[in-house]
Amino acid sequence: MSGPVDTPASSQGKPARRPRVFSGTQPTGALHLGNYLGAFRGYVAMQETHDCVYCVVDLHAITVRQPRAVLRRNTMDVANMFLACGVDPERSIVMVQSHVPQHSELAWILNTIAYMGELRRMTQFKDKTGGGEGESVGVGLFDYPVLMAADILLYGSDAVPVGEDQKQHVELTRDLAERFNNAFGKTFVVPEPVIPVDAARIMGLDDPTKKMSKSAGSEYNYIALTDPPDVIRRKIRRAVTDSGTEVRPGPDKPALTNLLTIYSALTREPVETIAERYVGKGYAEFKSDLGDVVVEALAPLQARVRELEADETYTLGVLKRGAELAESIAARTLAKVHERLGLVPRPR
């Protein structure tokens, strides 16, 4: 049987394994236009050239306390959003991290080769905990990058599409993989971080100097992928603009550059072509048109999300199959790791 994992034999009779991609998304809140244009759209494109594993990383999410019902909802939301954006479960593995126990198991083993010093140096840890010196900084937050390394290494991933903020974690993953390989013999593929295909870096609507973010103070920072049309239009109307009146990009126009980038990413027209059409017109007209563009672009995705939400059985079926496929790969990797370490195999 052919599938995303065991690729059919090529004409030479050798298994034609395509390079593997792994990426994880935390189920911690509204997915927004920045996630879509910066990541999800690239995940979909990478299915053409790679065997992909797209994972809802719920065990990462619980490094910050989550109300039970919220975690459950957010986990299903991310899975639905993968599917609604065009991740094809016939070609890619769509899974939830906690369904495959090998993630936690390999994280433990990697803990035994990771150094306190290298984890303490992680920028995200420092940002989240103010250096982690306090007595009540969670161990999970400290160890977060090791679990992420386990995610990636379990699947022999070659490429990890991540934004700038996660690159350091992939570098650590490389270091851990190489350290293990050197100490115990070649076991892990050493992965590369890749910038997601046609990724657009979308900034906050209320502050175009920082990335669009669900954890920003105001909901006027982001457009949630599930925002209804009137909310989308209102958020764009209220987006900050730059001084002057011209609709054009430029270093002196961070807000307009961002809005034009959104327009361009969704219509695939060059920013300059769009700007030319607005010569002599004002911000209001541009924003109104941009509202239409965003509403129209998200409509099919939102329709699909509503379908998936109306009947969870489809998504749950995808996750069941995803966990099975994932576990079959992960178990093989973990068995090899045990063998390398000298752990006695469980008698059968």
Which residues of the shown chain bind ligand TRP in the complex (CB under 6 A)? 22-24, 26, 57, 60, 148, 151-152, 160, 162, 166
To the query of whether residue 186 is one of the catalytic residues in this protein, the response is: no
Identify which of residues 97 and 257 has a Cβ nearer to ligand TRP in the complex: 97
Residue at token pair 């995610």: 151
To the query of whether residue 214 is one of the catalytic residues in this protein, the response is: yes
State how far Cα 159 lies from the chain centre.
13
Identify which of residues 155 and 180 has a Cβ nearer to ligand TRP in the complex: 155
Identify which of residues 27 and 291 has a Cβ nearer to ligand TRP in the complex: 27
To the query of whether residue 281 is one of the catalytic residues in this protein, the response is: no
Rounded to a whole number of angstroms, the minimum distance from the CB of residue 156 to ligand TRP is 13
Instruction: Tell me the C-alpha distance between 38 and 29, whole Å.
Output: 16
- CA-to-CA dists, residue 156 to 64, 101, 284, 333, 335, angstroms: 28, 17, 50, 8, 13
- The residue from 14, 126, 128, 210 that is catalytic is 128
Rounded to a whole number of angstroms, the minimum distance from the CB of residue 330 to ligand TRP is 13
Query: Using CB atoms, what's the residue nearest to ligand TRP?
Result: 24
Structure tokens at 178: 């190489």
Instruction: Tell me the C-alpha distance between 41 and 37, whole Å.
Output: 6
Provide the 8-state DSSP code for 40: I
Structure tokens at 195: 């910038």
CB atoms within 10 A of CB 141: 18
Provide the 8-state DSSP code for 11: T
Rounded to a whole number of angstroms, the minimum distance from the CB of residue 324 to ligand TRP is 20
Identify which of residues 32 and 253 has a Cβ nearer to ligand TRP in the complex: 32
Rounded to a whole number of angstroms, the minimum distance from the CB of residue 54 to ligand TRP is 10
Looking at the annotation, which residues are catalytic?
A: 128, 211, 214
